[in-house]
Structure 1
Amino acid sequence: MEWYILKSGAILAALLLFYKLLLEKENMHNFKRFYLLFAVVAAVGIPLITLTTYVEPTAGNFDPVLFHYSEEISVAESKSFSDYMPHVLWAIYAGGVIFFSFKFIRNLREILLKIKINPKIKKGIYTRVLLREQVDPHTFFSYIFFNRKKYEQEQIPREVIIHEEAHARQKHSLDILFVELLQIMFWMNPLIILLKDAVKLNHEFLADKAVVEKGVHTAGYQKTLLQFSSGHLHSDLVNPINYSSIKKRFKVMKTHTSKKAIWLRSILILPLISLLFFSFSNKEIVEREINVLPAETMNTTTLMLEVDNSGKFYFQKNETNLAELRKHINNGSYTSYHIEVAENAPSSIMIDLRQLMAQNRLAGSVALCTTKTAMQDKATPEMMAEYNRLVKYYNALQNANPEGEIQVKQEDINRIMAILGRMTPEQKENAEQIKFDVPPPPPPAPTPQPQSPPAPEKSSKNVDVPPAPPAPVMGNMQAPPPPPPSPMESVKDWIEEGAEFFYNGKKTTDQNVLEIVKKNGGKNLEVRVEENPTGKTVKISDKKSLNHNPPTSSRDGLKILPAPPVPSENKQPPPPPAPPKTSSSENLGFIYTAAQSPPSQNSNTLEYVIDLAKRGANFYIGPHKYSHEEAIRMVKKSTNEVSIDVSKYPDVILGGC
């Protein structure tokens, strides 16, 4: 603000100095009128203009910036008077604005009151207002004020009336109002007062010129002006006939300026304006932007997607489709993606999305793949509608056959129980009540007891001992199982499938996983792969150190088996361990993992589920698969009797959760 006031004052001072030296005494009053108004506009506007210079960036512009951090605790310093100085200055400025605004409104009100209460005479486009007090003739817009007594006695000279009509016709009051409003905003600049005096004096020059052009003798007109130089006070908003120096007006009245002099002085203004413009406008140097090819651009923009339960997906909160999404990705403006998926979103939509992301990642436009499943705290409206539809259907069958039994599909029962487990107490009260008998889950298949061969009957007879089996021939030995894929190949396959990676419990990127596996060569790493509705989750840990002969152990549902022994020439090699039946544990090339046999039935449902989880079971509620932690949490929260079906172990079906 201070710099703006200084620049504005300097511009106005330069323009006024030029006016006083070269223009004021010349007989070119119309040009001077517009010059003075332009001086005001230039003084206000030039400091607000910014000249922008574009330069080419240099190598020095890209030097890294070093940030120094200090751990010292800053102590609050007491404020001095200089800290409050800006508030004091603004308060003084506001006080000046209020003072000059009040003065302007008071003067305007006085003029309007005179027009309202005094008699008026309409003469063409002018209105003559007759006042009782002794005043010199003056003008405000089209209103000309005269002393009533002198006007009625015809003591007002004709040249005076012509002078005032010239003020009204040329609308000099507009200039005065403009300068007065400017003075309210820039009252602290004393040059505004000099500018206002110059504007009013030039108005008198214009009115005097109009009188002389009407054929009035100059000497007689000058005597008339002397008669009205009484010095009566007038409002700042009017044009009195005796304003300013009579001597200066007489001198200018006799001056004649040639057209050549007018053109010369007009041309001199141009370099002055140019000098002021480039000296007091703001300067800004801006480096040109470097257009880097998309392949070289380090863009870290993340593509945000949301998928709801109905399968609709949204880009930046707006619903979109695969075709439009492919256009956004192909533009090369995204290097990663983040998908928030509702828990019951169709898996087909996620497969399409993940394939699209994987393709673009392989092309180099996606560097980070992350997915997030939006957890729900209650059953969705779609789930409630499905639940009510199934229950109403089987209730109707039961009502049609009240005495007999109805056949209920196992998959429908699983779905009903799964949705019932998601409901809140309020949803359960409003849901359709089950009126048919829910069949219990099928009992687990009995474990077959190994049958021992019957004992040979005792006999005193000599029994021929069968001959020993022939020694195995090396050419007929069973070939060992094919080696598992290398760790790097497994990781690359998971990356192509769009898997999500965790290392020691923390989320990591595809590139970091490749570096970790490459560094360790796949040794001393424990890997766990989990399937979920959005894809695979791969958890890698180096917390277990594996030796050359690791003992058989069980941890979190994984069983670590020792490496198979090398077959000898005289011994049949044992068969390889059976591959696991579930996708939650895989032969990864790092360790061999497999689910253990189911534990014996336990009367405590929660303990039984925990024991199943420890042995690597896969939990299902209906068609949906849940992790160990989710299954245990659902059993804990369930208020109904939970059924456990282990007939398809290691796949365990839970009901009533």
Structure 2
Amino acid sequence: MIPYILYTALILSACLLFYKLLLQRETFFHLNRFVLIGCMIVAFTLPLIPVPQKLSFRKENTAITIPQTKIPVDKAKTAEVKSAPPSEVFVEEANQNFNLDMVVKGLVYLYWFGVIIFLVNFLMQAVLLFYKAYSASSIQDGKFRIVEITGDKAPCSFANNIFINPEKYEWETYNQILLHEKIHIEQKHTIDLLLAELVLVFQWFNPFAWQWRKTLEINLEFLTDDKMLQQNTVEKESYQFSLLKVAAPHYPLSLTTNYNQSLIKKRIIMMNSKKSNVHTTWKYFFLVPVLVLFACLFNQPAAQSQTLSSNEKSKEQKQQKNIQHGMDTEGSWFATIKGNTVSIQFKSGESNNSSTTFDLSEFSSLPRDTKGE
């Protein structure tokens, strides 16, 4: 579990660095949105996909499961004497393994404790938002619900609910806010934020995951601003001035799209920036080899996870049976009766010979003459 979580964190961090270096300044906001969502999904699914053995940089470690067998006492004692390390070394290694196991177990407990805390916080925010949405007075505007709030809180939206204090803004600003939040709702930006928050639940220890959440939110605002400026009724200068008036220091919950005061400057700069040329879209294709490289470096080779063919299975079962019996079953068998004993000899090649003696009474089915011999 721990290697999977760390591998996921590594992919997410690499994708964020790639986005910051090559894609952040591009004005392809729709494409950036799909890249940010896709990378979150890929970060959690890519480690689960095996890669062909020829493409993998990992060495194949084929493990053969050997069933438990009974070993003769004299052989077991001999093997034990040969392989037993000194007692001091054994105690030291045992203590080191114990300490390492305790550290790993402690990290696992700490990780899941953090997951539980952030999951509870996520659920509490969702419950609180639904409570506010359906307990306060609201106005139905088509598929949108305008929920009236009080205090100096910035407007925000969640699902199809728009939270706003109507007494705080003049009519033109109020209409621009509603139009802005309706764009968030129509493009279902709540889904993006919910996915980012779920990523934080399982990647709470990863600072790149927190930065990812912020980057995704900024791009959603860029996308909404660009859509706003395409409206015939909205002027760029008037809209930018409204942003400065709307921004408030009291932020809503993180599950909502809102007028974050710290993002206003970046949004205004992006609105005044030059549109990206379509020929710069080549940058996005470089993300594919980056992900392929990660898969080849860290993913499990496919040969380790593929089911053995029927021939391989039968061969493996035959080898296991030979190991279990402790000898090769291909060879010649000889039986000699001497008195009340039966001596059975097995010969396979020049070096593999063995013999075992049994009481004649154990072979009651042997043919006998009239004298019982």
Identity within the alignment, %: 25
Question: How far did residue 54 of structure 1 move?
Answer: 7.2
Amino acid aligned to 2:150: R
Which residue of structure 2 lines up, in the alignment, with residue 120 of structure 1?
138
Deviations 1:256-281 (A, max 9, x none): 112222x3223333333333332332
Residue number among 187, 191, 199 corresponding to 1:170 in the alignment: 187
Amino acid aligned to 1:273: L
Which residue of structure 2 lines up, in the alignment, with residue 194 of structure 1?
211
Distance in 2 between residues matched to 1:186 and 1:251, nearest whole Å: 31
Which residue of structure 2 lines up, in the alignment, with residue 93 of structure 1?
111
Native 8 Å contact 2:51 2:302 kept in 1: yes
Count matched residues: 322
**Do residues 146 (structure 1) and 172 (structure 2) align?**
no
Native 8 Å contact 2:153 2:248 kept in 1: no
After superposition, where does 1:506-525 map in structure 2 within 5 Å?
none
Deviations 1:522-568 (A, max 9, x none): xxxx98898xxxxx712xxxxxxxxxxxxxxxxxxxxxxxxxxxxxx
Which residue of structure 1 lines up, in the alignment, with residue 326 of structure 2?
none
Which residue of structure 1 lines up, in the alignment, with residue 39 of structure 2?
39
Which residue of structure 2 lines up, in the alignment, with residue 586 of structure 1?
369
Native 8 Å contact 1:529 1:586 kept in 2: no
Query: Against the structure 1 CA distance between its residues 155 and 232, is the aligned structure 2 distance closer, same or farther, given a 3 Å change threshold?
Result: farther
Distance in 1 between residues matched to 2:168 and 2:338, nearest whole Å: 104
Identify, as 1 or 2, the structure richer in helix: 2
Question: How far did residue 247 of structure 1 move?
Answer: 2.0
Residue number among 537, 541, 545 corresponding to 2:365 in the alignment: 537
**Do residues 84 (structure 1) and 94 (structure 2) align?**
no
Distance in 2 between residues matched to 1:114 and 1:4, nearest whole Å: 38
Deviations 1:468-498 (A, max 9, x none): xxxxxxxxxxxxxxxxxxxx9xx9xxxxxxx
Query: Against the structure 1 CA distance between its residues 507 and 271, is the aligned structure 2 distance closer, same or farther, given a 3 Å change threshold?
Result: same
Which residue of structure 1 lines up, in the alignment, with residue 278 of structure 2?
259
Amino acid aligned to 1:258: N
Unaligned runs of 5+ in 1: 56-60, 62-66, 303-335, 337-363, 369-487, 492-500, 513-525, 531-535, 539-582, 588-592, 596-657
Deviations 1:425-480 (A, max 9, x none): xxxxxxxxxxxxxxxxxxxxxxxxxxxxxxxxxxxxxxxxxxxxxxxxxxxxxxxx
Distance in 2 between residues matched to 1:113 and 1:205, nearest whole Å: 29
Amino acid aligned to 2:127: R
Native 8 Å contact 1:201 1:243 kept in 2: no
Query: Against the structure 1 CA distance between its residues 528 and 251, is the aligned structure 2 distance closer, same or farther, given a 3 Å change threshold?
Result: closer
Native 8 Å contact 2:51 2:295 kept in 1: no
Residue number among 46, 50, 69 corresponding to 2:79 in the alignment: 69
Distance in 2 between residues matched to 1:210 and 1:258, nearest whole Å: 18
Amino acid aligned to 1:141: A
**Under a length normalisation based on structure 2, what TM-score does the superposition of the two structures give?**
0.73
Distance in 2 between residues matched to 1:273 and 1:33, nearest whole Å: 18
Amino acid aligned to 1:223: F
Amino acid aligned to 1:70: E
Residue number among 148, 165, 181 corresponding to 1:130 in the alignment: 148
Question: How far did residue 121 of structure 1 move?
Answer: 0.6
Amino acid aligned to 1:123: D
Residue number among 212, 216, 227 corresponding to 1:210 in the alignment: 227
Which residue of structure 2 lines up, in the alignment, with residue 305 of structure 1?
none
Amino acid aligned to 2:276: T
Query: Against the structure 1 CA distance between its residues 141 and 15, is the aligned structure 2 distance closer, same or farther, given a 3 Å change threshold?
Result: same
Amino acid aligned to 1:202: N
**Under a length normalisation based on structure 1, what TM-score does the superposition of the two structures give?**
0.43
Question: How far did residue 508 of structure 1 move?
Answer: 5.7
Which residue of structure 2 lines up, in the alignment, with residue 13 of structure 1?
13
Native 8 Å contact 1:163 1:208 kept in 2: yes
Native 8 Å contact 2:50 2:302 kept in 1: yes
Which residue of structure 2 lines up, in the alignment, with residue 107 of structure 1?
125
Question: How far did residue 19 of structure 1 move?
Answer: 1.1
Distance in 2 between residues matched to 1:300 and 1:197, nearest whole Å: 56
Instruction: Note the aligned Cα RMSD (angstroms).
Output: 4.1
**Do residues 226 (structure 1) and 239 (structure 2) align?**
no
Distance in 2 between residues matched to 1:256 and 1:136, nearest whole Å: 29
Deviations 1:575-633 (A, max 9, x none): xxxxxxxx7x406xxxxx269xxxxxxxxxxxxxxxxxxxxxxxxxxxxxxxxxxxxxx
For CA contacts below 8 A with separation 6 or more, give which structure has more relative contact order. Answer: 2
Query: Against the structure 1 CA distance between its residues 218 and 586, is the aligned structure 2 distance closer, same or farther, given a 3 Å change threshold?
Result: same
Q: 3-state SS of the aligned residue for 1:114?
A: helix
Q: 3-state SS of the aligned residue for 1:157?
A: helix
Amino acid aligned to 2:135: I
Question: How far did residue 289 of structure 1 move?
Answer: 7.5
Native 8 Å contact 1:12 1:40 kept in 2: yes
Identify, as 1 or 2, the structure richer in strand: 1
After superposition, where does 1:221-370 map in structure 2 within 5 Å?
221-242=239-260, 244-254=262-272, 255-261=274-280, 263-283=281-301
